[in-house]
Structure 1
Amino acid sequence: MRQVARGSRFQPLFAPAMVLIVIAALIAWVSPRSLHPLNLLQTLKSSSIYGIIALGQTCVVLTGGVDLSTGPVAILTLLLTSDLSRGHNSPLVWIIPLLLMLGAGFGLLNGILITLGNVEPMVATLVTASIVQGFYLIWTKGAPKGVIPPSLRLLGTGRIGGVFPAAIAFWLVLSLIFLCILRKTRFGRCIYYVGSNPQSAYLSGINQNVVVLIVYMISGICSVIAGFVLGGFIGIGTLQLDPMDYSFTPLIITLLGGTDFVGAIGGIEGTMLGTVVMGFLLNLLTLFRVATWAKYVLEGVLIVGILLLFRIQRR
């Protein structure tokens, strides 16, 4: 069994750090003003939604899985929040718990398909993604209604002390919580052991299926939380967002941070750095006025490139 207790948790962050330096140098060359501290905060704010989803994705990938239903769940959260609240704060008392349970339910569905149905994670989560997309298209009938309540708007657009974006602070707090869970708790160790060698984990008394179910539920909950923040950014329910953008970009962040599909390699530290790298990369693409289709091509190239690097490292 691979040694997972320490080494894989503290994967070298050299590669993503170097990528960050290169991107920052390119940004400084194209638009030096973009490296002003206030602009840097805005850059990180734009990637914080992806970063929140990536926290749950990291837990999933550490077990050797993947969750491609995150984007549709986040969009569903945005649409239901705007429609059910109609811009009022008071309904959030029951809307937030309801949607968190709904996100956990979709994660549970993913976990059941994978553990009991023996369906490949990519296929299982794509099935769930299709179900979620179909549900919100039926719900909205192609015409979303309502606006996001002021309290959630503060989460997306508010600033602490008039300077530091609340969305970044929220992402940092969640990241620290996940960091403590993976590094300091028995459940965190179980995630690494399941990703390292499921059979050995079973012999050690760890129920692999339960761990897998929980990490997919966590991923679903993270997607819902990201949907709340996304609603705070946008302010209204809309079908103009690409749900797969909120599936693949967090996955790229996870991989950029050094978390490997083989499982048990990587951690939250890398995902946090990957979120920063993604923010800078998106800023660079904006400066170069890269078209949306080209961004998708770049994401595909990044995934293939990172996987090839992981394969080379394992040899």
Structure 2
Amino acid sequence: MDTVIEAAGLRRSYQGFDAVRGIDVSVARGELFALLGTNGAGKTSTLEVLEGQAAPTAGTVRVLGRDPHADRAAVRPRIGVMLQEGGFPTELTVAETLRMWAGCTSGARPVDEALALTRLGERRTVRVKQLSGGERRRLDLALALLGRPEVLFLDEPTTGLDAQSRHDTWNLIGELKRQGTTVLLTTHYLEEAEQLADRLAIMHAGRIATTGSVADVVSQRPSRISFELPWGRFPGDLPPLATIGVTAHDISGQRMRLETFDLQRTTTELLCWAREQGVELYGLDARSASLEEAFMEIAKGLNDEETSR
């Protein structure tokens, strides 16, 4: 798979403040890459350089094989950009806004098609100033899709959307990806990254803390098992925890909580023990770590590291 977005040693500074501190990013054609991080991590600053809106302070950037800032005239017609917040003429209707933008876009798709894709058809005659925040985000997305982009940059695409609209947008992004569009998005919704991303990177203080597939990142955190100890049984009655893959445990009253990096094996051993003992593990809950847990653990570790300096 050829690489369509690539940054090496990317740095971006504002009046002496390093917003992006030497990161490497690589996105393959047809891939959906999510850039995650806390507020101020440098996500939007990174996106602005990749989109060609600004030149890097240092490092190199290539989109579709070209410098997106120096070769903007060649790159811009082939990409779609959805900013964190769009600025629309408030007196225009939704359809008028799209027609205006289509007039500035090479090979623009029909306005009705863009409206249908983003479920704005019924709002076509509504003035922009009368749209809800979520509807404005959908209009942002419609504008980004007008030029049938090969590469799509989405900065917080579902902020302000209700649950149904968010899932509709996920479905649309997934369909664009299946059609071969390369997508790079930032999001605060970790479920969004978990649902959509082929790979992701977690940024913190201008650097990339970790990168990989969702499974790779999540596998850094242990799975969890919890249950009520059977009446009259004690932790010492369980199989030796270390021998069944348990890496940490605690107990509160009768509630046992275990951590393991081998969820299937540990759960199987516990169930076999319960069957042999003729007891039931009430309230049994066994689950893999989530992306949210991995994200919070990484952010906490990095914050603790900075505090200790």
State the TM-score, normalized to the length of structure 2.
Answer: 0.28
Which structure: larger Rg? 2
What TM-score results when the alignment is normalised by the length of structure 1?
0.28
Q: Which has the higher helix share?
A: 1
Q: Which has the higher contact order (CA 8 A, sep 6+)?
A: 1
